[in-house]
Structure 1
């Protein structure tokens, strides 16, 4: 059965490579603690009682990608990213105590592996994901979600909206694709944001780095006609006299709270994914954006990366890439010794 696995300290300890005279983030992160809760129950008060501000969880699935006729593999990113994160040094820049590692969703393969069956299963995943995001946000914490396909943006946005008392969420998505495909096709990784818009949970939707080569004939006019959707095309970034971070800051200047941040790893050059790109952002462009951030995003969603694809491609660096993005996101809003008054 589909479920959510809550981690214990033993689960964390198994992933830590201990060394003499070193302390790792994994030795300082928090795990969920609720002695009075039933097994598997996530209690809002127990989340509120944790000193950690950021709640990390994984959605290791590629059903949504396959439902969009993509190549399987995104289910492999979570474990490698978590291990890479837990083995980062604990130090004055980031101790690990900022993070509660909650667990991951365990999602069974559908018995019907047809395209229709896969798309039906994505609806099931939606219903599994949003209540947990809702509880995390309702507890005043910031979920950091590692996917998985970009289909999971829809339940994350829904859960964040419900967790903020029903306020619509404004989202900026760093992505080569708009993921605004027709909802009538059935759920998949290509219509997470059209689903969120149609369901009434998403207000402003901004796409940063959208590739002109990946928009259909009608999408540019649709975006231009919709005042709540804005796109900054990657081709325009290439020709801009401003830096990526300057353009980013201009682009999100009017992004109202509550807001969420989406990072599709297929927007970054040479990161292994179903839609891996040879032309895109450099990893350090995205790191610069995150480290200079001063906006209190309601959530962070990193998706579409993989360490191993069904077609045989392998890249073990993907986990470390995700770990860099997680730590940069947290560090930007935490006081530490490199920040001058």
Structure 2
């Protein structure tokens, strides 16, 4: 049965590689302070940690969008890599509560219809946890998983705030496909339809990989705006200038398939360099309501393997916490 696994301190300790004379983040991060019952807003609120790290290791949504399985592999290796970063003056570790991960069973029906039905079930599993984290005054940091999980994350944040939210998505794809059953390509479509998403900005959209219907949506809907990657190549349009138009604290989505040579279902030879994404995070003028890193993989069903994906995700998470802690 699908569930959420809450990590104990022992669960975290088992992932840390100890070395004399060094202190790792995993030795300083905070665990959920109760082993009784489900995740509670009150218990989360009692923690001094500001950021709550959790994983959604699944690729059902990717497969439901005719993609290649693999995104389920990113969570554990990324967590191990993150926990073994040095704890030092730049990042102590006690700013972060490592909450756990969703345990999602394979659907019995592996047809497209069955996969899309399963994504709906995942939505129902994810959003209540996000809602509790935000209601507790914390900032969710979510490692996926497919980009289908943008919808329940947005829903959870919006319900906690009792208002639709703005979102910035650094991505090659708009994920505004038709309302044809849930999958990784239409999370933002459903969030707009159900009024959880207000303004939606996409930075780095690729002209080659978005259909005419999506381009028409962006052109005609005043809630949507984009900067194409080709325009960034031509004119160097600034990330901060683009997002400055948003009010309040938007969500931040990073689909790693916009980064060159990062293992994913839609791996690309042309996109942002890893250091460009790090610069956007570290230099952002905005406070963000959450961070969602998705679509990355360390092992794909077709046999491709890369451990560097986990290290990249660990860099992005640590950058977000470092940069954002100074703005909170």
**TM-score of Structure 1 vs Structure 2, range by shorter chain:** over 0.9
TM-aligned CA deviation for residue 259 of structure 1: 1.1
- List, as ranges, runs of 4+ consecutive aligned residues in structure 1 with deviation greater than 3 Å: none
Match of 1:203?
198
* Residue 28 of structure 2 is aligned to residue 28 of structure 1: yes
Q: What is the CA deviation profile of residues 138-185 of structure 1, one whole-angstrom value per residue up to 9, with x for unaligned ones?
A: 000000000000000000000000111x111100000000000011x2
Distance 2:158 2:91 in 1: 29
2:169 aligned with 1:136: no
- Are 1:177 and 2:170 counterparts? no
Question: Are 1:54 and 1:100, in contact at CA under 8 Å, matched by a contact in 2?
Answer: yes
Matching of residue 73 in structure 1 with residue 70 in structure 2: yes
Work out the CA distance in 2 between the residues paired with 1:310 and 1:221: 34
Which among 18, 43, 46 is matched to residue 43 of structure 2? 46
For normalisation by structure 1, the TM-score amounts to 0.94
Q: What residue in structure 1 maps to residue 221 of structure 2?
A: 226
Q: CA deviation at 1:220?
A: 1.9
Question: 1:339: which partner in 2?
Answer: none
After TM superposition, the structure 1 = structure 2 runs for residues 108-147 of structure 1, keeping only pairs within 5 Å, are 108-147=105-144
| Cα distance in structure 2, aligned partners of 1:141 and 1:286 | 23
Distance 1:335 1:107 in 2: 35
Q: Which residue matches 1:212?
A: 207
Cα distance in 1 between the residues matched to 2:298 and 2:112:
24
Which of 75, 82, 87 aligns to 2:79? It is: 82
Given that 2:45 and 2:136 are in contact with CA atoms closer than 8 Å, whether structure 1 keeps it comes out as yes
Counterpart in 1 of 2:183?
188
Equivalent in the alignment of 2:303: 312
- Is contact 1:180-1:191 (8 Å) kept? yes
List alignment gaps of at least 5 residues for structure 1: 337-341
**Is the partner of 1:218 in helix, strand or coil?**
helix
Shift of 1:64: 0.2
Q: CA RMSD in A?
A: 1.1
In 2: Cα distance, 1:14 partner to 1:8 partner: 10
Find the partner of 2:102 among 92, 105, 115.
105
Give how far 1:335 is off.
Answer: 4.6
Deviations along 1:295-321, one digit per CA (max 9) or x if unpaired, are 221100000000000000000111100
Separation in 1, partners of 2:6, 2:217: 42
Q: Is the 8 A contact 1:68 1:188 kept in 2?
A: yes
Separation in structure 2 between the aligned mates of residue 105 and residue 261 of structure 1, nearest angstrom: 21
- Of 225, 228, 234, the residue aligned with 1:239 is 234
Residue 106 of structure 1 deviates from its aligned partner by 0.1
Correspondent of 1:296 among 253, 278, 287: 287
CA contact (8 A) 2:131 2:160 kept: yes
- In 2, distance between residues paired with 1:217 and 1:136? 37
* Aligned counterpart, 2:275: 284
